[in-house]
Amino acid sequence: MKFNKVNWNAAYKWLSGKQELLVRAYTKNDMEKVRHLQISILKDFRTTAIAVRRVTTSKGSRTPGVDGLLATTKEERNKLSLRVNKIVRSPSTYEPLAVRRVWIPKKDGTKRPLGIPSIVDRAIQAVYLEAIDPIVECNACKNSYGFRKFRSAQDAVLALRGKLIHPKASEWILNADIAKCFDKINHDFLLRSVPVYRKVDRNVLKKMLKAEVIDLRDVIYPEMGTPQGGVLSPILCNVALNGLEAAIKNKAIELRRPILKRGGNPKVHVVRYADDFIVIGPSKKMLVALRPYIEDFLTERGLEISKAKSSLFNVWEQDIEFLGFSFRKRRFNYKKRFEVSWKKPNYKSPSRIIIRPSIENTRKFKTKVHEMIRSHADLSTLVLKLNEYLCGWANYFALTGDSAKRVRDLRRFVLWACWHKVIKLYPKMPRKQIRKRFFPTHKFYQLGRYVNRAWVFSVPTKLERPSVKDAKLRLYNLDSIKAPGKAITPTGLNAYKKEDIIKLEESKARVALPSGTVEKICNRQNFICPACGQSLSNGEDIEIHHTLSLKIARLHPSPNKQVKLVALHKLCHSRVHSEET
């Protein structure tokens, strides 16, 4: 078996079939079968290949571990997959390398530690991920949205809106932040509750958790926590925190008579994204009473709520800050289309939840843009870099129509910053000429008609782009993203069951790419790579494949150009070309 000979389509199909069987066996409590299925998933070369592909093509794949090794070429990946498969087949011989510690600056000035395992260890973690994640998914909280297939931070935001939007919805909020979740998780608890059923596998996980951490010259032997930067760590975070929602809700049902003095639904909700969660309750008293139970739940796992960052308040009095968005509940006059009063109204008045990027986040955006503009002297690379960042930002934050004004302001801000950059670069050029050369009016095709837009920052590019006539690189327009009006993801579904996957895919977010042409081609393919059958938005690089060679396409231009272009993963693209020759 060789990495570059794997039939990806068949491999992914085989793996998802096995994972579905695993989920079915687990729900029937047939533990013997679960054990066998897990072993067959772990030992198979196809899982190894998928794991190696995941760790060598993802965004984080370019950071090496302590050994400085990165598998970027075909031969290196072949070698890596053989090595990983050998270890997975006889796990008792496995000895992980040390974890490299990197410090990443945080927004409040402090630094966050990141632990980066070597590429071999990452690949082995990814193999275990495929065997563990289906079972973790079976036990997942209904409203947990972090690090789960088909669930994103935006789903968490929309779910939170769903809990707040009804006029009679609960109004008290406990915004809880777990202090240093990844660094503090209790090892014994994790090893007890991780769903693996062989002693060898448990030992492998134990060795991974206890692997020494190298911080410049210091060597640390961790007693708790999991390395942030490992493939398995997010899943382990979910393993530790699953059950939180059910525990809180059950306690609330117990407490409703003594506190709320009524029966029925206590109207307590929990929305969690990884280690960040929000509890919504009907009264302050209820949340104050629930808090010790939440703290008990967390202490068992070695965690605690950070006192400085958590708060208890009413929605009408304070904005909720969650995942970079700010939520506020306001009375709203739909006929006049503006906010009526910020005082607490009676229940009959229509209210609405306004979701915007938080002020802190827009500030972060501005400093980031300034920093990028300062650090790039060449305009065309600057525009490429900016496009990538702006597009990612807009994809995430243009979630609701409420963001529109803030996004418009930011667009103007970026343009203004670019204008000053160009003036500095060409101090002797008259302003009128700068305007004409770098900020011309451009015709866009939008919503079925052509629209003129003034002040489009565009620079001549040195890149070879044969499909574009004038070869100009334009700044991505932040305004161009429409709020998708995304449907709320249904809860209680399992991302490894076929019938549930169909339902989950319906509510998947639309992704915009910095290049309009690439986006159009991807959309035509429904964001599926035709070579491997996997989603194009899985974090790998996308490349455009010309089904005719470029030379022929140039010699015989035809009106229907797009049909000759196919979007593929970078890996699949190189495979297609190697098979041609």
Residues engaged in binding Zn ion (CB under 5 A): 529, 531-532, 569, 572
Provide the minimum distance between the beta carbon of 14 and Zn ion in the complex, in angstroms, as a whole number: 16
Q: To the nearest whole angstrom, how small is the minimum distance from the Cβ of residue 50 to Zn ion?
A: 12
Q: Nearer to Zn ion by C-beta: 54 or 474?
A: 54
> Cβ 523 to Zn ion, closest distance in Å?
16
Minimum CB separation from Zn ion for residue 572, in Å? 3
Q: Which is nearer to Zn ion, 509 or 572 (CB)?
A: 572
The least CB distance from residue 571 to Zn ion, in Å, is 7
**Residue positions counted in the chain:** 581
Residue 123 or 529 having the CB closest to Zn ion: 529
What distance in Å separates the CA atoms of residue 203 and residue 223, rounded to the nearest whole number?
A: 15
Rounded Cα distance between 116 and 27, Å, is 35
DSSP assignment string, 137-172: HHT--TTB-TT-TT--HHHHHHHHHHHH-STTS--E
Please work out, in degrees rounded to the nearest 5, the angle formed at the alpha carbon of residue 305 by the alpha carbons of 242 and 185: 55
Our CB check for Zn ion shows the closer of 119 and 531 to be 531
**Pseudo-torsion of CA 138, 143, 149, 151, nearest 10°?**
170
E strands along 28-171, which residues? 99-105, 111-116
Instruction: CB nearer to Zn ion: give 25 or 542.
Output: 542
> 380 or 535: whose CB is closer to Zn ion?
535
Enumerate long-range contacts of 416-419, CB under 8 Å, 24 or more apart: 417/369, 417/370, 417/373, 418/373, 418/457, 418/475, 419/457
Number of residue whose CB is nearest Zn ion? 529
CA 251/CA 241 separation, integer angstroms: 16
Q: What is the nearest approach in angstroms of Zn ion to the Cβ of residue 542?
A: 9
Q: Rank residues 53 and 329 by Cβ distance to Zn ion and give the closer one.
A: 53
Match 């096995």 to its residue by tokens. Answer: 18
Residue 530 CB, shortest distance to Zn ion, in Å, is: 8
Q: Which is nearer to Zn ion, 248 or 532 (CB)?
A: 532
By beta-carbon proximity to Zn ion, the closer residue of 243 and 530 is: 530
Q: In whole angstroms, give the CA distance from residue 305 to residue 299.
A: 9
Q: Output DSSP code: residue 130.
A: H
Of the pair 130, 275, the CB lying nearest Zn ion is at 130
Q: How far is the CB of 379 from Zn ion (least distance, A)?
A: 33
CB of 545 to Zn ion, least distance (A): 10
How would you class 309 by CB atoms within 10 Å of its CB: exposed for 0-12, middle for 13-18, buried for 19 or more? Answer: middle
Q: Which is nearer to Zn ion, 315 or 522 (CB)?
A: 522
Tokens of 8: 């990806």
Residue with smaller CB distance to Zn ion, 51 or 232: 51
What b-and-e string marks burial along 119-130, b requiring 16 or more CB atoms within 10 Å of the CB? bbbbbbbbbbbb
- CA-closest candidate to residue 50, choices 123, 136, 133: 123
Closest CA to 151 of 323, 26, 294: 323
Dist. CA 223–CA 370, nearest whole Å: 41
Instruction: Please report how close the Cβ of residue 305 comes to Zn ion at its closest, in angstroms.
Output: 42
From the CB of 569, what's the least distance to Zn ion, in Å?
3
Distance CA 306, CA 314 (A): 20
Beta carbons of 322 and 175 less than 8 angstroms apart: yes
As measured in angstroms, the least distance from the Cβ of 3 to Zn ion is 14
Nearer to Zn ion, 507 or 535 (CB): 535
Smaller CB separation from Zn ion, 90 or 538:
538
Residue type, 153: A
CA-CA-CA-CA torsion sign (127, 131, 133, 134)? positive
Residue 48 beta carbon to Zn ion: minimum distance, rounded to whole angstroms: 18
| Nearest-angstrom CA–CA distance, 269 and 252 | 10
Tell me how far, at minimum, the Cβ of 13 lies from Zn ion, in Å: 13
Largest CA distance in the chain: 82
**Tokens 């609960």 map to which residue?**
170
In whole angstroms, what is the distance from residue 232 CA to residue 55 CA? Answer: 11
Instruction: Give the span between the Cα atoms of 479 and 516, in whole angstroms.
Output: 14
Which pair of tokens denotes residue 71?
A: 């598998």
